[in-house]
Amino acid sequence: MLFDSEIDRVVRTGIPLTGTAPWKALAAHHREISDVHVRDLFVADGERHERFSLEIEDLLFDYSKNRVTDETVKLLLDLARASGVVEVAKAMFSGAKINWTEDRAVLHIALRNRANTPILVDGEDVMPKVNAVLEQMRRFTDDVRSGRWKSFTGRPITAVVNIGIGGSHLGPAMICEALRPYHDGPRVRFVSNVDASDFVEAVRDLDPAETLFLVASKTFTTSETMTNAHSARRWLVEALGDEAAVARHFVALSTNREAVAAFGIDPDNTFEFWDWVGGRYSCWSAIGTAIAVAVGFDRFAELLEGAHAMDRHFQEAPLEENIPVLAGMLDVWYRNFFGTATNAVLPYDQYLHLLPAYLQQGEMESNGKSVDREGNRVAYATCPVIWGEAGTNGQHAFYQLIHQGTSLIPCDFIGVVNSHNPLGDHQEKLVANLVAQTEALMKGKTAAEVEAELRAAGRDEEEIKRLVSHKVFEGNRPTNTILLDRITPRSLGLLIALYEHRILVQGVVWRINSFDQWGVELGKVLAGTILEEEKELLAGEEVDLGHHDASTRALIERYVERQQKG
């Protein structure tokens, strides 16, 4: 039994995904529609935009510039239904152990369950624990922000450094950047990479006597994080001259209270979370403490409320009006039927510049899998590569390929109406560029249009012949547009949760476990071995590297030799 018998009935039919009726119907439909140009669909249908747009609060999701018809949407929703999307979502919200390889519930939704309805795991309601940690976060961040939290030397804290990596880094870092206009607490910095340069640059201008470190590691054993934490500890103790300072300058976001205490952190300053909070879904938990320090706990609570509003939409809206479901099924449509390999995330707001990196983890670590629920290797593509940069920067970098390259790249354009920094006509230009890109990618420009334009510009026929094909745009490049009135904690919560549920939808259709990450283990183990070997070699010991391939061996030897030369 994977989740429970009701879900099993739906999801374990014994039929390979590509053999199911909805999949075959989509394959047949794709053959019919693959040459249809969206430009023509807009001409033929005056209601297309209304029908293919949805709203929740101030978030508009316009998917009308996709290569879909009513029939496509119907068939995609058939596939979603047949795949058990509804049942698995329901199971997640009810606390069922849908992370079946690790036998865990998946309850980031509990962390922002502002309705406070009970959610049972193994018969126990998790909400009292959730609320207790939120209350602890409120007290702590209020104290730090107000100056009631005194440093070892009695001074207030003016800088907070979050030390964490992966899920303990990308969420808080992305959100702190996105909410920069709301910052009214101490400076917040982030250290993640084990490269010492990351730590050194982050603390270069900080005063140890006024700096507080948040060490974010579920297990408190993550190699990169603990290496940085120990360097931070040395930096602090050397400056303040007393080991006892650690307790006033370090807190832990962790589940391992014993290791936290051994580090010198007061167990009362440990912010707990639970095995049902996956790293890449943890920004809503104690891992979000840096956010609450930067913008205050009330703003952090608004972030949770926005996410909770999306949770309710995802649970309650019929599939036809369900934004995460439609977005997720469009992803399946392109990946599996058009054979696309990447999705671009293009935020038209500088404060959202870390969103692509955040979603890279969110989607690729969740759905970059190739084994299905039965333990079989899948016979279809799963997660594409997620990438992107802030527009308009991307326009001057890689949009060339999106417009005229040989690969079809579905894009999410994420825009904001009102800037937090209204200045001249910057915002009009920014939004004009966003909208124009979606128009250009969809419409394209035909050879006849190019020729007419060149002729009107007085170019001679030989030049026209030479240039015309280079200036043609095929168009028919699919885009979603997500437009917010303004980036607020609440609207950001809506946006992030939209992507989280979209990931779930994809994963259910692909029959994979979106909540484990076995693929990170092997490299970790081998790095441990190689580190030992490097250290022994650097200490002048004999080491047998014969178990490595010749390249790995040579790289280790070169590193040691060149390191010793300095």
Q: Hey, which residues are catalytic here?
A: 365, 396, 524
Residues with Cβ within 8 Å of residue 57, at least 6 apart in sequence: 306, 309, 490, 491, 494
Question: Which of 488, 165, 502 minimizes the C-alpha distance to 359?
Answer: 502
Contacts (CB under 8 A) with a copy of itself, residues 82-121: 100-101
Q: Which of 130, 326, 357, 509 binds a copy of itself (CB under 8 A)?
A: 357
CA atoms within 13 A on the CB side of 35: 2
Could you say whether residue 9 binds a copy of itself (CB under 8 A)?
no
Q: Which of 30, 81, 129, 445 binds a copy of itself (CB under 8 A)?
A: 445
Contacts (CB under 8 A) with a copy of itself, residues 250-279: 279
Residue closer to a copy of itself by CB (options 141, 222) is: 222
Could you say whether residue 219 binds a copy of itself (CB under 8 A)?
no
Residue closer to a copy of itself by CB (options 43, 132) is: 43
Rounded least distance, CB 328 to a copy of itself, Å: 17
Q: Which of 49, 139, 148, 150 binds a copy of itself (CB under 8 A)?
A: 49
Question: Which of 248, 270, 249 minimizes the C-alpha distance to 259?
Answer: 270
Could you say whether residue 389 binds a copy of itself (CB under 8 A)?
yes
- Using CA of residue 291, residue 294, residue 297, residue 302, what is the dihedral sign? negative
Q: Which of 180, 187, 257, 459 binds a copy of itself (CB under 8 A)?
A: 180
Give the pair of three-digit tokens for residue 223.
Answer: 């190699």
Contact 314, 499 (CB under 8 A): no
d(CA 276, CA 468): 57
Query: Segment contacting a copy of itself (CB under 8 A): 86-94, 143-151, 260-268, 345-353?
Result: 345-353
Could you say whether residue 371 binds a copy of itself (CB under 8 A)?
yes
Question: Which of 23, 33, 337, 353 minimizes the C-alpha distance to 180?
Answer: 353
Could you say whether residue 35 binds a copy of itself (CB under 8 A)?
no
Contacts (CB under 8 A) with a copy of itself, residues 420-439: 420-433, 435-439
Contacts (CB under 8 A) with a copy of itself, residues 222-241: 223-224, 227, 230-231, 234
Contacts (CB under 8 A) with a copy of itself, residues 189-208: 192-201
Q: Which of 259, 370, 446, 543 binds a copy of itself (CB under 8 A)?
A: 370
Q: Which of 6, 9, 376, 460 binds a copy of itself (CB under 8 A)?
A: 376
Residues with Cβ within 8 Å of residue 163, at least 6 apart in sequence: 191, 192, 213, 214, 215, 216, 225, 228, 229, 232
DSSP labels, 513-553: -TT--GGGHHHHHHHHHHHHHHHHHHTT-----TTS-HHHH
Rounded least distance, CB 61 to a copy of itself, Å: 12
Within a 10 A sphere around the Cβ of 69, how many other Cβ atoms? 19
Residue closer to a copy of itself by CB (options 27, 341) is: 341
- In three-state secondary structure terms, 396 is helix
Within a 10 A sphere around the Cβ of 211, how many other Cβ atoms? 23
Instruction: Provide the mask over 462-501, with x wherever binding to a copy of itself is found by CB under 8 A and - wherever it is not.
Output: ---xxxxxxxxx-------x-x-x----------------
Contacts (CB under 8 A) with a copy of itself, residues 149-178: 165-167, 169-170
Residues with Cβ within 8 Å of residue 331, at least 6 apart in sequence: 343, 384, 410, 502, 506
Give me the sheet containing 59-62, strands edge to edge.
53-56, 59-62, 479-484, 411-416, 342-347, 385-387
Contacts (CB under 8 A) with a copy of itself, residues 494-553: 513, 516-524, 526-531, 534-535, 538, 548-553
Contact 479, 441 (CB under 8 A): yes
Could you say whether residue 455 binds a copy of itself (CB under 8 A)?
no
